[in-house]
Amino acid sequence: MNDAGSKTQFDIASLRRRLSDPAANELPAGTAPDEPALLNPLAQQIARQFRDENYSPALLIGQIRLLEFVSLLAIGLLATMLASQSAPLGLLVRIAALAAGSAATILLLQLADTYLIPSLRSAARSRKRVATAGVLGFLASAGSLYLLEEQSFSAGAYLLWFAVGILFLLVERQLIAIGIRHWARNGIMERRAVIIGGGEPAKQLARALEQQPDNDIRICGIFDDRGSARSPAVVAGYPKLGTFAELVEFARLARVDMLIIALPATAEARILQLLRKLWVLPVDIRLAAHADRLRFRPRSYSHVGAVPMFDILDKPIRDWDSVAKRTFDIVFSLAALALTWPIMIGAAIAVKASSKGPVFFVQKRHGFNNEVIDVLKFRSMYTELADPTARKAVTKNDPRVTPVGRFLRKSSIDELPQLFNVLRGELSLVGPRPHSVHAQTGDRRYVDVVESYFARHRVKPGVTGWAQINGLRGELDSDEKIRMRTAYDLHYIENWSLLLDLKILFLTPIRLLNAENAY
């Protein structure tokens, strides 16, 4: 076992801990964070080209598995119902037997590596393995039903069932291959990557990625702080689009999936300096290891084709996790609206009757990936005294708040319209609370206090969150409160699960009874 491997694993874990510690990222008094850099025209043009969403291969593979399972189950069920010659088994028992056989087929297809993108892209390459898995899965389904129902089906019925099932798999795989090739040509199914660091290391990395068969990596460009003498304007045919500071803005404008650092693993200080700027982005961050002379344990690496990478940071709540979280949001938001609509109607009437102005207050807040969204609330202030910028936080006995608004804020009823933000996909039910784009304490913005503040935006903000159920509600009137809330938000992101969301959601009404900090 190579000691260097242990050291690298420890160092990467150490980097993650140092990044996620708000105290370690606190800015000294009087120090301003780096402002977003303006992109040059070329970088802006390329960012616009990659503005549209792409399609995750992991999501596609999962959907193909689900399609094949449901289709095989339906084919088997239809065939057995049409061909049964005697009193059939109970429907639930039959469905269970066929489901087991269909699941076995999917498992066999998985073991035969037919759910890899190269196999899906080329139907001819995997046809034999698909047919073999289909035959074995059919035998499992038909054999179990034969044992359960004895002579209930004729040989012709079994043969028809077998032929339709295998034909479906082969035709469906051919259509999927055509679709994947079409999506790849149109840039829909690709992972968009940016190389960080120029010169010869970036050139070697780009060439290595290009040589991978069925490569799904699309290199968008290169970013490097060094001048043209050490880092040419074009490397391996890819343009240098700007500096590391400009990369943050580029990655927010473009739908970038991965940042690949083309620096030696031994340059830990420089890598950490880079990560302090980049980890606020909702992307995978990898350290290229293809040119490293050190060789570590295989499990230390992930791979893009055959190109080894060290996993520094992963995009949080990705692929099927994001689907599960979105489903969670829709289901529970609709349930919440069904339960609270009388309260919302009563609140709307009270707001309109007690003071002039609109029922709803719309405020610009930071959303996912630092994008600006319009967040809905019941209006709780006098219209002429309202502060859409939230530069001045609401304090105890604040004269700007109406009597009705004071009750709505203490009970958090004013937040209920944000359920519509959830249904629109701008918010999640659970996540870091969104703050106003101009929110500050005194004369300091929140990001002026904690450099890692914007890392909260790697996931969608939420109507409620881990910080809120732990007593961190209301006014952020000190640096310590900002640091604590950021720490709780980062803890949530790093430890997310549906069970954690469920826990936070059900604890929220209980913790709202403590209105000590809600003004």
Residue 395 to residue 476: CA distance in whole angstroms: 10
- Residues 112, 33 share a domain: no
Contact by Cβ (8 Å): 263, 270: yes
Stated as kind and residue range, the H or E segment containing 218 is: strand 217-223
Strands 284-288 and 360-366 turn out to be: unpaired
Q: Is there a domain that residue 480 lies in?
A: yes
Residue 38 sits in the same domain as residue 86: no
**What's the total number of domains in the chain?**
3
Q: Is 415 in the same domain as 349? A: yes
Q: Could you give the angle at the alpha carbon of 273 between the alpha carbons of 270 and 277, nearest 5°?
A: 140
- Residue 374 sits in the same domain as residue 478: yes
422 part of a folded domain: yes
98, part of any domain: yes
Q: How many residues does the chain have?
A: 519
Name residue, tokens 């082969």. 170
C-alpha 138/C-alpha 79 separation (Å) is: 12
Cα–Cα distance for residue pair 118/212, rounded to 1 Å: 11
- Give the domain range for residue 146: 57-185
330 with 471, same domain: the answer is yes
Same domain, 441 and 338: yes
Show which of 296, 315, 334 is a domain's final residue. Answer: 315
Question: 156: which residues sit within 8 A by CB, 6+ positions away?
Answer: 83
Q: What is the pLDDT of residue 34?
A: 54
89 and 120 belong to one structural domain: yes
Q: What is the pLDDT along the chain (519 residues), one digit of tens a residue?
A: 344 444 444 356 666 666 666 555 555 555 555 555 678 888 888 888 887 777 778 888 888 999 999 999 898 888 877 766 555 556 777 788 788 888 989 999 999 888 888 788 888 888 899 999 888 988 888 777 777 765 566 677 778 888 888 999 999 999 998 988 888 777 677 788 999 988 888 888 888 888 877 677 888 889 988 777 777 888 888 888 888 888 888 888 888 889 998 877 677 778 888 888 888 888 889 888 765 554 555 555 677 767 888 888 888 888 888 889 999 999 999 999 999 999 999 999 999 988 888 999 898 888 888 888 999 999 988 888 777 766 676 767 778 888 888 888 888 888 999 999 999 999 999 999 988 877 766 666 777 677 777 888 889 999 999 988 888 776 666 777 788 888 899 899 989 999 999 999 999 888 776 656 554
Helices (H) and strands (E) in the chain, counts: 17, 14
pLDDT for position 335: 94
Domain assignment present for residue 516? The answer is: no
Would you say residue 297 lies in a domain?
Answer: yes
> Which CATH number characterizes residue 32's domain?
3.40.50.20
218 strand-pairing partners: 192
In a domain, 114, yes or no: yes
CA 228 to chain CA centroid, nearest Å: 36
Instruction: Give the number of other Cβ atoms within 10 Å of residue 5's Cβ.
Output: 17
Tell me how far apart the alpha carbons of residues 41 and 382 are, in angstroms, rounded to a whole number.
44
Pairing label, strands 360-366, 372-378: antiparallel
Q: Which residues contact 104 (CB under 8 A, 6 or more apart)?
A: 136, 137, 140, 141
Between CA 257 and CA 251 the distance in angstroms is 9
Which residues are 217's β-sheet partners?
191
pTM of the prediction? Answer: 0.78
Q: Is residue 194 included in any domain, yes or no? A: yes
Q: Are residue 227 and residue 155 in the same domain, yes or no?
A: no
Helix residue ranges, H only, 112-257: 117-121, 123-149, 155-185, 199-210, 244-253
Q: Which of 185, 200, 219 is the last residue of a domain?
A: 185
Do 270 and 308 fall within a single domain? yes
Closest CA to 325 of 491, 499, 457: 499
Closest by CA position to 421, among listed 296, 330, 504: 330
64-91 residues labelled b (16+ CB within 10 A) or e (exposed): beeebbeebbebbbebbeeebeeebbee
Nearest to 220 by CA among 243, 181, 191, 263: 191
Q: Cβ(129)–Cβ(102) under 8 Å?
A: no
pLDDT at 4: 43
Q: Inter-axis angle of helices 123-149 and 155-185, to 10 degrees?
A: 150
Question: Which of 263, 290, 315 delimits the end of a domain?
Answer: 315
Domain contains 517: no
Task: Using alpha carbons only, give the angle 74, 324, 411 rounded to the nearest 5 degrees.
Answer: 135
Q: How many other C-beta atoms are found inside a 10 Å radius of the C-beta of residue 280?
A: 23
> Is the Cβ–Cβ distance between 390 and 317 less than 8 Å?
no
Residues 288 and 329 placed together within one structural domain of the fold? no
Task: Assess contact for 20 and 489: CB atoms under 8 A.
Answer: no
Same domain, 263 and 339: no
Q: Quote the pLDDT of residue 311.
A: 83
Do 215 and 112 share a domain, yes or no? no
Would you give the DSSP letter of residue 360?
E
Distances (CA, A) of 125 to 121, 167, 211, 507: 9, 17, 20, 52
